[in-house]
């Protein structure tokens, strides 16, 4: 019979995708479902510390959290399972971020579309390279805190909540422009997710492919009923993510 101090510690670091709560009222978030699955399969109680955020955090904020916030760092140091979900607020190129292609986004969808379709491969690659280095720092900060202790590491990749977004659909765009914008959006996630997964795997993290589960094998399907608002998982979406997490190899934390 497990004793209270025999519990597994699961720490979640990220933006609002794993937050649950008011982003999906009445839902059982994937973090809770996965914790219950671990308890059943491993036979030990699981203590969850969900340090994900509901403040629009991006890569820079999460990097600061894992490198400077001592409470977070102590919780990671004691974790048997670490789940990272960050990048949703950075994956779609945005002229206001100052990373990669720069420009004046303005206040309208039309001005964003004009900027987006004028971006060039070189500056888009520069943005990806910048974020790749940031993932390196985030993942390495986490693994260094664990000091080689047996740990299950997982990184959730970024689904596309922008394809088919009503805000874009409602804009006064021609069919030709809409098609071009859709291709540009899909290409952005097709650049981002391989980079994210490559960096995750380099640091011993399993890459959880929520992107293709939500957006289809080619990444060209809107997230639809898998989200509440295009971004945050619905109950159906939470169930999908929990099922993907349940497939992870838990040998590192089994005994």
What ranges do the domains of the chain cover? 4-91+130-167+190-253
CATH number, domain 4-91+130-167+190-253: 3.40.50.1110
The pLDDT of residue 112 is 82
pLDDT surpasses 90 at 4:
no
Average pLDDT, integer, range 233-245: 98
- Mean pLDDT, the chain, rounded, equals 92
Kindly calculate the radius of gyration of the chain based on its CA atoms and give it in whole angstroms. 19
Band (167; pLDDT cuts 50, 70, 90): confident
Give the span between the Cα atoms of 122 and 143, in whole angstroms. 32
Contact of 235 with 28, CB cutoff 8 Å: yes
Per the DSSP assignment, residues forming a β-bridge with 208 are: 156
Give the span between the Cα atoms of 62 and 13, in whole angstroms. 8
Average pLDDT, integer, range 41-52: 96
Band (106; pLDDT cuts 50, 70, 90): low
pLDDT surpasses 50 at 123:
yes
Give the span between the Cα atoms of 116 and 20, in whole angstroms. 31
Higher pLDDT, 164 or 44: 44
Band (1; pLDDT cuts 50, 70, 90): very low
Q: Which residues contact 140 (CB under 8 A, 6 or more apart)?
A: 203
Structure tokens at 61: 């904020």
The pLDDT of residue 109 is 72
Higher pLDDT, 255 or 235: 235
The pLDDT of residue 93 is 86
The pLDDT of residue 103 is 63
Q: By percentage, how much of the chain surpasses pLDDT 70?
A: 93
Burial class (CB in 10 A: 0-12, 13-18, 19+), 118: exposed
The pLDDT of residue 3 is 41
Tell me the helix, strand and coil percentages in the chain, rounded to 5: 50, 10, 40
Band (113; pLDDT cuts 50, 70, 90): confident
The pLDDT of residue 2 is 40
Of 41-45, 100-104, 146-150, least confident by mean pLDDT is 100-104
């Amino acid at each position: 019979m497990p004793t209270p101090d025999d519990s597994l510690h699961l720490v979640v670091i990220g933006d609002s995708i794993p937050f649950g709560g008011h982003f999906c009222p009445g839902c059982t978030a994937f973090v809770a479902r996965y914790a219950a699955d671990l308890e059943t399969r491993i036979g030990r109680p699981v203590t969850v510390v969900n340090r994900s955020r509901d403040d629009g955090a991006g890569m820079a904020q999460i990097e600061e959290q894992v490198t400077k916030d001592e409470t977070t760092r102590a919780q990671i140091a004691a974790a048997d399972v670490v789940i990272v979900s960050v990048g949703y607020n950075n994956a779609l190129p945005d002229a206001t971020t100052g990373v990669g292609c720069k420009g004046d986004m303005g206040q309208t969808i039309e001005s964003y579309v004009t900027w987006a379709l004028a971006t060039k491969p070189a500056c888009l690659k520069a943005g990806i390279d910048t974020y790749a280095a940031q993932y390196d720092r985030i993942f390495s900060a986490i693994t260094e805190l664990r000091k080689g202790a047996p740990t299950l590491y997982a990184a959730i990749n970024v689904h596309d909540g922008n394809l088919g977004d009503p805000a874009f659909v409602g804009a006064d765009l021609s069919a030709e422009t809409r098609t071009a914008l859709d291709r540009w959006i899909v290409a952005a996630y097709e650049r981002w997710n391989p980079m994210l997964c490559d960096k995750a795997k380099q640091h011993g993290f399993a890459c959880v492919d929520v992107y293709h589960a939500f957006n289809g094998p080619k990444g060209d399907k809107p997230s639809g009923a898998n989200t509440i608002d295009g971004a945050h998982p619905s109950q159906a979406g939470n169930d999908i993510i929990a099922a993907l997490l349940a497939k992870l190899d838990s040998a590192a934390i089994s005994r």
